[in-house]
Structure 1
Amino acid sequence: MATEPPSDVQWWNAGGVADLWLPTDQVSGSGAIIIVSAAGYNLSGFTVAWGEGASEQMDGPQHEITLNSFPNDGDWLTFEMEIGSWGELVLDRIEIRTASTIPFEAADLDGSGWVLRGDFGFSLGVADGGSLSATDAEIMGADVLISGTAVGQNSWFKRSGPVNVQGAQASLTWNGGGFDSTLDDHDVRADGVAALSFTGVTDSGGFVDLWERQIPAQVLHFPGSGAQFTLNGVGPDERTIPGISTAEGISNVPGDDGPTTRVVEIGQSDGSVWTESATIDSISWFTAWGTYTSDGISLPHSADVIVDFPLPAVSISQVDVEDEAPTLGRRASVTVTLANTGEVPANVPIECYDGGDRADISPTFPSAMVGADSEADVDLKWGHTGSGNSTLTCSPMLPTQLTRDGAFGGGSGDSSVVVWEVQQDAGMDPIVIALIVALVVGVLLVAGFASIQARESMVKAEEPED
């Protein structure tokens, strides 16, 4: 038990009122109620009413309500923010002044619409693998972190909230007793995996919930960049958030009030439980192979979420060269078989390599539409320079926006070893024959032309002169 637990209270009831029960059974005669703010705060912007009396505007570090008499048992102090005002109301204590002064720490008074303010008196930790057992006990003013096992029977956490329960091995099981006063709007704060069990417990009440589950910022991991999507039902406000994956293929799920934590479960003071059931909807991802869509994927509460939806998975199952001994100077016929083991079709271009160099193939970038869970063939021609052994290696050309290895398959395939051969001479080369024929024809043409010229000259020489 802390000797100096948190003792101040802060108004925490936007749009409503907060109240404190002030006991007066030990007071008689006339006097005053003195409301004192915590150091560094003031009462401005708020009103207070005693019992059924009229509201009074407060200002400065303290406010006095003068009374001619006090009720026999006590009454309510009701606090409310003035319309159009904004600020923090933090109370240190309430005093009753008659012939003497009776002080009450604000946190000692019963009421609703408040949370604790102040520093915990000590830390209480239950490590992973450790345990805590409490029976008819009271834990006062402790900063509690449970990573192991905590079991309580008719025991209380007072001014120790929220009790933090964090980790896959963490559990809090409480029967009877309960929680009284917290620094936040919930008595217990758990992560997404800790185990909680409550039977017959009393919480701080009012707007303070029994527990909240909060998870840190989440990262969605898509197969690649440019995937558009919409998150629906995010957080207690069940927000709708559009998004698109970055160049790294990721997108962050924002917190409730920024980039950090998000509430995904609330055990409310009335016994009901709200649990987030967010979904990743309207996924549309345009790629060079096609546009892939999905809807209604559940958003789990893990820190890193792998977003999976129907995609193709294409690899090369066979590279078949028709002639195992093709001739240099002529292209070999090749059939490349693509296998799609994915759930959707894809229009897949392929590329081929001849050793370490890009292969001389025609067409340069052949492609085929490959249906889901089926195969398709691509026919091409392969040219090669230099005799000897060679292997043609072909693979799908993956879209550039992919960031997840294996998202579209992509396995390559090799042909059997091909022996390229120089063409053997089988008689005179047709080109040489054509050149000789052309030469002979040319010679004959020249000879014929010369003969005609000589004949014409002889005729002229034989003609008589006049």
Structure 2
Amino acid sequence: MSKSKTVLLAISLLTALAATTSLNAVAQSSEIVIDSQVEWIEDRSLERDLRIVSGGDLTLRDLTLNIHDGVNIYVESGGTLNVHNSEIKDLNPPTGLAGYGYWDETNRSAVLIPGSDYDGGFEATFYSGETSTFYGGQAIIEGQDLIDLNGSEFTLSFDENTEDVWVGLVGYGHQSVHLTTVTLTPEVGSSITYDAIELEYRNMMALDQDGETCNLNIAGTADFDEASILGCMVVVDGIMTLHSTSIERTGPIISSTNADLIISGETTFSMSKDDHDVRAHANSRLHWGENVIGSGGLTDRWEKIIDSQEVHFDAAGVLFRILKFGQYEITSSTYFSDESGVGLIDSGDARTVEIGWADGSVWTESASIEILEYRTGWNMDESLDDYGGGIIPLTWDEVIMVDGKTPQIEFVSIDYQNPTDSVSRGSGGVGLMATIANRGTAPAIVYFTCDVSETGTAAQMTSYPGGLVEEGEEVTIQFSWMNSDVDNASLTCEILTPTQLVEEDAFGGGTASSDKITWIDPTDDEGGSIIPVLAAFVIATVAMGAFFFKMSKSSEEDEEELY
């Protein structure tokens, strides 16, 4: 190899190595990846994301892990995080306070101002923070007039005789009042500013004023034993176990649809950032041990919440409501199914279906769907009940199918009353029998129409055939076929399905065909009988016209009732 080629090869290798090193550095600086069994035993600060992938197993033992705002710990499906006798700390945990929105003396929020620390008079300045305001609220000191508030701060003056004093705080219209800091300024001496959470307080939650925090996302498995978590947001999509672990200013822990959250031992919660320590999806699995202690006071142990719920019907225009609905077990307003047969419960909003109260009791929703009106063309008669089943349980499924107490019609067969190979056009027609079965759980009044199979034209019949078919029954309906222009012909009959149905065959239906029969011209002896045949045809035509007029009037009256 020539010297020039050697130099070029060396330069190429160095360039490739530099590029690879640069790419690795970028990858390493973006996040820490655990893909095998690893144990950390020394304190450390986490400034970039930590990802435990499938097959990875990270154990934190006897250490403190300080996490910067915006940093995430991801435990992917198949990954494992073990935390033993260790502390996970948000370097910027919530330091503010938020009220619950109550105005009554027992439940309203308050902070204790340490007046006994001062020999002389002093002022206390309360700050709501940059994103909040005291507008429309009030400060309440026992024995004094109510103090109307405005803006993001207010100041109260106290004389030298002031002992420790509770200052009640209420927000506008029962909104949560926010307090981030209190500055105490004595007549003599320097001011002291306290984070609100450093003061003694009652009926208040933790407030993360800047909204910045660290995040634990558990899609795999996480096991905390005699550990602690300060701050951070915890979202569980996999399996998380908290045993004898301290949870402070962290809640609510979010437990998603298919998650398992096991809380056991002497685990304690304190200062949740909402009015419950755990927010679980209704269909997640939550275990709260007997010795677990929640934040208490006005903070519930858990709430189970279900997302948008849909009730699916086979028809449009079904009216229904919910009985014993929600926490106060009310009767809801009336809902209806749209053209797709879908009805939204509570306009599709999420709602709470279970509460583990702070006092140890549990409320669980036990609601029902009441069908108010479920009518189609098959059960318009007032003697028949609404379809759907009346009252049915409201489950926690996201989609609830209402398919009980509905018919399921099957067109079994079309047969001749008196089997024959031919019929004279002058004879007045041939009698047939339609066999129709109802395999469903509700009756239906069904009708059918017939065409000549060979031409597709409407068959000449002496009546508009149909009738009541009870659930579980099979009935035979007799009718006549008067004439056919085709010599060798058969009938194909089809059940008329209700127009209210989303899918035409939702309640069954179908077609059936007869055997072919030969129509022959009348003989000379039958020639004198043409007048009776015409008379019969005229009578049949008048009868069918009267029937359709009656059906039309009935349909119009039904529509007026519906609207």
Using structure 1 for the length normalisation, give the TM-score: 0.80
Distance 2:487 2:362 in 1: 77
Read off the aligned partner of 1:334 and give its amino acid letter: L
Match in the other structure for 1:195 = 285
SS at match of 1:292: coil
Structure 2 residue corresponding to 1:307, chosen from 398, 402, 416: 402
Match in the other structure for 1:375 = 474
Match in the other structure for 2:434 = 336
Deviation at 1:81, TM superposition (A): 5.2
SS at match of 1:144: strand
Match in the other structure for 2:385 = 292
Q: 1:406 to 1:24 in 2, by over 3 A?
A: farther
Structure 2 residue corresponding to 1:124, chosen from 205, 212, 216: 216
Deviations 1:199-234 (A, max 9, x none): 222222222211111111211112212222232122
Matched, 1:268 2:367: no
Distance 1:186 1:414 in 2: 66
Distance 1:336 1:23 in 2: 92
Of Structure 1 and Structure 2, which has the larger fraction of its residues in strand? Answer: 1
Structure 2 residue corresponding to 1:182, chosen from 267, 272, 279: 272
Matched, 1:39 2:39: no
Q: In terms of mean alpha carbon deviation, does 173-182 or 232-241 score higher?
A: 173-182
Deviation at 1:70, TM superposition (A): 6.8
Q: 1:137 to 1:391 in 2, by over 3 A?
A: farther
Higher relative contact order (CA 8 A, sep 6+): 1
Match in the other structure for 1:92 = 180
Read off the aligned partner of 2:512 and give its amino acid letter: G
Distance 1:379 1:5 in 2: 82
SS at match of 1:107: helix
Deviation at 1:264, TM superposition (A): 1.0
Read off the aligned partner of 2:328 and give its amino acid letter: D
Contact 1:112–1:207 under 8 Å retained in 2:
no
Deviations 1:348-383 (A, max 9, x none): 111223337254041453112222221221112234
Read off the aligned partner of 2:216 and give its amino acid letter: L
- Unmatched 5+ stretches in structure 2: 1-88, 531-563
Match in the other structure for 1:320 = 415
Distance 1:336 1:232 in 2: 43
Deviation at 1:139, TM superposition (A): 1.8
Match in the other structure for 1:250 = 342
Deviation at 1:2, TM superposition (A): 1.6
Distance 1:239 1:400 in 2: 34
Of Structure 1 and Structure 2, which has the larger fraction of its residues in helix? Answer: 2
Q: In terms of mean alpha carbon deviation, does 316-325 or 267-276 score higher?
A: 316-325
Deviations 1:392-423 (A, max 9, x none): 333321111012565422243333x3242545
Distance 1:380 1:327 in 2: 16
Deviation at 1:94, TM superposition (A): 2.0
Distance 1:326 1:430 in 2: 15
Structure 2 residue corresponding to 1:6, chosen from 84, 94, 97: 94
Aligned length, in residue pairs:
419
Read off the aligned partner of 1:300 and give its amino acid letter: T
Match in the other structure for 1:398 = 497
Match in the other structure for 1:384 = 484
Contact 1:333–1:379 under 8 Å retained in 2:
yes
Match in the other structure for 2:297 = 206
Contact 2:169–2:177 under 8 Å retained in 1:
no
Distance 1:431 1:391 in 2: 25
Identity fraction in percent: 25
SS at match of 1:204: coil
Distance 1:137 1:399 in 2: 64
